[in-house]
């Protein structure tokens, strides 16, 4: 339908910041008219952002353009050279919009990314230019472009972060990229846990809603799941599957625990977000899981000498414990373990 083609054209102009005031109002009204419109806009906007970061250091204009147009579904004439391209400006306005926004002198460098890395044993808090507040846990890294808050609200996370998203920015969606997943905020406060050496990816929503998409199955129509307030999604990594970690909805999973969604009550929030307030909260966690948390929090290396100890479960809360020795001494009172310490290396053994 002509109406669909018109809105696609306007979306291209709006995303590339070429729309006039009247066109901007039309696009914003269309986005807010229906949740499906908002989701479609988020998809197209993400395609635009991804098209800027091709080939690591240099933007491939032809490839970027094809990716973006494939996502929008807009059909444009095929032009073999940039000179012919610009000569046909009147017939291909959407494409000129794309190139004038992206490419000056036919090439540009990849946009610079700000980077915040948090050392082991530390927790960091920052406020982004749109007002969003982010807490980063030990051993985490956050990256975002210098144009964040203006033309984009896209960030890249490795590790664990708690996001308190600033309201009122539906026309510029907040998107978090992790190694395997894309997370879109739908007005919320949520925690993401995506450490590369953890056996799972996890997101917990305190308020609002998020959608999660598996990057390995991006073309799968069922490949999106929504997590609402007081829900946690955990996806267990599976090394024997080269196509990602399993589809979210109708795609069969190879093992029962591939995807797990649980509800939590307000009194259990600290289990997922207490770390930002220097709390350690364990709720039937295994000693192996606890060791990973303690390694990051106290910047130590923990060796568990006996594999039979790995799955020992422990529950307990620790408030602002400055020393790992105090934590281990308390755990030791309720589990059959002992430990020794040499510098920053801790060895856990069976209690004698």
pLDDT in tens, 148-207: 887 788 999 999 999 999 876 667 788 999 988 889 877 689 999 999 889 899 999 999
Q: What CATH number did the domain enclosing 218 receive?
A: 2.60.120.1440
One domain for residues 126 and 95: no
Whether 107 maps to a domain, the answer reads no
Whether 57 maps to a domain, the answer reads yes
Indicate the range of 162-166, 171-175, 293-297, 332-336 predicted with least confidence. 171-175
Q: Which of 234, 268, 302 is a domain's end point?
A: 268
Quote the strand ranges of the chain, DSSP E: 113-117, 124-127, 133-136, 141-145, 153-164, 174-177, 181-185, 189-194, 200-207, 209-214, 225-228, 231-236, 259-263, 279-286, 301-304, 313-319, 337-342, 345-350
Q: Which of 51, 72, 102 is a domain's end point?
A: 102
Q: Which pLDDT band holds residue 325 (cuts at 50, 70, 90)?
A: very high
Taking the model in full, what pTM does it have?
A: 0.66
Q: What CATH number did the domain enclosing 292 receive?
A: 3.55.50.30
Domain count, the chain: 3
Of the two residues 147 and 274, the one the predictor is more confident about is 274
Range of the domain at 58: 2-102
Average pLDDT, the chain: 76
Q: What is the mean pLDDT of residues 310-337?
A: 92
Q: With a cut of 90, say whether residue 327 has pLDDT above it.
A: yes
One domain for residues 173 and 149: yes
Q: With a cut of 60, say whether residue 8 has pLDDT above it.
A: yes
pLDDT in tens, 14-32: 776 677 878 878 887 787 6
One domain for residues 67 and 195: no
Whether 159 maps to a domain, the answer reads yes
One domain for residues 137 and 263: yes
Check residue 123 and give its pLDDT: 94
Q: Which pLDDT band holds residue 293 (cuts at 50, 70, 90)?
A: very high
Whether 273 maps to a domain, the answer reads no
pLDDT in tens, 209-247: 998 988 776 555 457 888 999 999 999 876 544 334 444
Q: Which of 79, 102, 125 is a domain's end point?
A: 102
Q: Mark 191-217 as b/e (b = at least 16 C-beta within 10 Å).
A: bbbbbeebebbbbbbbebbbbbbbebb
What percent of the chain lies above the pLDDT cut of 70? Answer: 67
One domain for residues 256 and 138: yes
Check residue 214 and give its pLDDT: 84
One domain for residues 64 and 186: no
One domain for residues 132 and 84: no
One domain for residues 183 and 307: no
One domain for residues 262 and 148: yes
One domain for residues 248 and 282: no
Q: With a cut of 90, say whether residue 146 has pLDDT above it.
A: no
One domain for residues 59 and 90: yes
One domain for residues 47 and 159: no
């Amino acid at each position: 339908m002509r109406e669909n083609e018109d809105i696609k054209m306007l979306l291209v102009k709006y995303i590339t910041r070429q729309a006039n005031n009247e066109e901007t109002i039309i696009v914003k009204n269309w986005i807010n008219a229906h949740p499906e419109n908002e989701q479609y806009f988020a998809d197209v906007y993400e395609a635009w952002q991804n098209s800027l970061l091709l080939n690591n250091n240099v933007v491939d204009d032809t490839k970027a353009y094809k990716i973006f147009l494939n996502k929008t579904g807009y059909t444009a004439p095929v032009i073999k050279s940039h000179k012919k391209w610009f000569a046909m400006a009147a017939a291909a306005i959407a494409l000129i919009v794309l190139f004038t926004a992206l490419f000056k002198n036919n090439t540009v460098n990849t946009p610079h990314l700000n980077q915040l890395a948090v050392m082991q044993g530390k927790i960091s808090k920052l406020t982004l230019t749109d007002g969003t507040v982010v807490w980063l846990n030990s051993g985490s890294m956050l990256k975002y472009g210098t144009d964040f808050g203006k033309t984009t609200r896209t960030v890249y996370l490795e590790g664990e972060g708690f996001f308190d998203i600033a309201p009122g920015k539906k026309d510029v969606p907040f998107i978090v990229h992790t190694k395997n997943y894309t997370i879109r905020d739908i007005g919320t406060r949520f925690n993401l846990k995506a450490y590369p050496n953890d056996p799972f990816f996890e997101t917990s929503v305190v308020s609002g809603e998020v959608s999660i998409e598996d990057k390995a199955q991006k073309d799968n129509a069922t490949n999106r799941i929504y997590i609402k307030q007081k829900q946690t999604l955990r996806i267990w990594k599976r090394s024997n599957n080269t196509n990602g970690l399993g589809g979210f909805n109708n795609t069969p999973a190879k093992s029962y625990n591939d995807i797990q969604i649980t509800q939590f009550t307000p009194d259990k929030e600290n289990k997922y977000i207490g770390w930002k307030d220097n709390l350690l909260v364990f709720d039937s966690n295994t000693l192996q899981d606890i060791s990973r948390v303690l390694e990051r929090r106290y910047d130590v290396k923990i060796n568990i000498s006996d594999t039979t100890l790995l799955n020992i479960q422990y529950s307990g809360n620790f408030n602002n414990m400055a020393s790992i020795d105090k934590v281990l001494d308390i755990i030791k009172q309720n589990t059959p373990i002992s430990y020794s310490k040499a510098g920053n290396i801790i060895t856990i053994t069976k209690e004698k």
